């Protein structure tokens, strides 16, 4: 549930902030009559994202045995790639995204293509929706669906406060913190994928248990579940899992940090 909350807060806030930028700029240029186009595109993207999410989950449960494991591995691999790109790209583009969206609105209005505003909202929001659907399909655990709805609600409340009041949020710092949390979640998913490949005999574990912390923090304990949700904790990882986890954090973390320095 916690991983689902974090993912949808991050993705939902990005989507709602984009909607806020579009609405704010239309207000600034006295074009509020096009609000309906923004909401039509955004709502359409949300509905389509929910449908895609249910399709992914239906496919997940339609496979059995090795087929199910292979499907989960493929979905996890795609989710890891997309999430890594999203985290690194968003940190690099966050400084320019507002200006780019405003320029696109100016372009569609100057060409008298007002439905382009709906398309712009749809494309921007659907990207976040498909990423979320993929990642939630790849994750395992109880309460993911409930957690995703809770995260989306929290994101909507934060966005409404930012748009309607004088409440200020340091977005750069917010995306920095949530970006690192998502990197650790993705590292845990990478480790789990390596474990799944090991069970299929595709990737040898080399050493079955590098260490065992089951006596201290069992996987099924509350603390174990919390740590698993936020940093991908496992009490008895194999050597290949440790290597995959560490390599992911080092490589993606370095890219993320470098992009963060470029935007300061």
- Across the chain, mean pLDDT equals 83
Averaging pLDDT over each range in 108-117, 131-140, 151-160, which range is the top one? 108-117
44 token code pair: 């359409």
With bands split at pLDDT 50, 70 and 90, how would you rate the model's confidence at 93? low
CA distance 187 to 199: 19
DSSP 169-200: --HHHHHHHHHHHHHHHHHHHHHHHHHHHHHT
DSSP 3-state percent helix, strand, coil across the chain (nearest 5): 80, 0, 20
Interhelix angle for 65-93 vs 171-199, to 10°? 160
Please answer whether residues 151 and 7 qualify as being in contact, where contact means their C-beta atoms are separated by less than 8 angstroms: yes
CA distance 124 to 160: 18
Q: What is the rounded average pLDDT of the residues 39-54?
A: 89
Domain spans of the chain? Answer: 1-262
User: Considering the entire predicted model, what is its pTM?
Assistant: 0.79
CA distance 210 to 76: 24
What was the pLDDT predicted at 245?
Answer: 95
Q: By C-alpha distance, which of 245, 143, 142 is closest to 188?
A: 245
What was the pLDDT predicted at 141?
Answer: 60
Report the percent of the chain where pLDDT is more than 70: 89
Interhelix angle for 35-62 vs 115-138, to 10°? 30
What was the pLDDT predicted at 250?
Answer: 96
Q: What is the rounded average pLDDT of the residues 143-171?
A: 75
């Amino acid at each position: 549930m916690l991983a689902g909350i974090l993912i949808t807060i991050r993705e939902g806030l990005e989507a709602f902030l984009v909607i806020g930028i579009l609405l704010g700029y239309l207000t600034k240029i006295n074009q509020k009559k096009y609000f309906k186009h923004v909401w039509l595109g955004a709502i359409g993207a949300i509905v389509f994202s929910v449908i895609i999410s249910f399709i992914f989950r239906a496919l997940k449960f339609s496979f059995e045995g090795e087929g199910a494991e292979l499907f989960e591995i493929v979905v996890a691999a795609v989710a890891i790639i997309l999430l890594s790109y999203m985290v690194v790209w968003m940190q690099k583009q966050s400084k320019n995204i507002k200006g780019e969206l405003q320029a696109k609105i100016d372009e569609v209005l100057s060409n008298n293509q007002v439905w382009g505003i709906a398309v712009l909202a749809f494309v921007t929001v659907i990207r976040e929706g498909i990423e979320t659907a993929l990642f939630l399909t790849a994750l395992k655990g109880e309460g993911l669906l409930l957690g995703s709805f809770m995260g989306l609600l929290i994101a909507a409340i934060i966005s409404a406060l930012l748009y309607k009041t004088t409440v200020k949020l340091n977005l750069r710092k917010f995306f920095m913190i949530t970006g690192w949390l998502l990197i650790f979640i993705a590292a845990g998913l990478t480790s789990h994928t390596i474990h799944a490949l090991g069970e299929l005999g595709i990737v040898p574990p080399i050493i079955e248990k590098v260490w065992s912390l089951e006596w201290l923090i069992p996987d099924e304990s509350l603390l174990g579940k919390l740590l698993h949700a936020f940093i991908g904790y496992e009490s008895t990882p194999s050597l290949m899992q440790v290597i995959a986890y560490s390599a992911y954090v080092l490589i993606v973390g370095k890219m993320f940090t470098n992009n963060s320095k470029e935007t300061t």
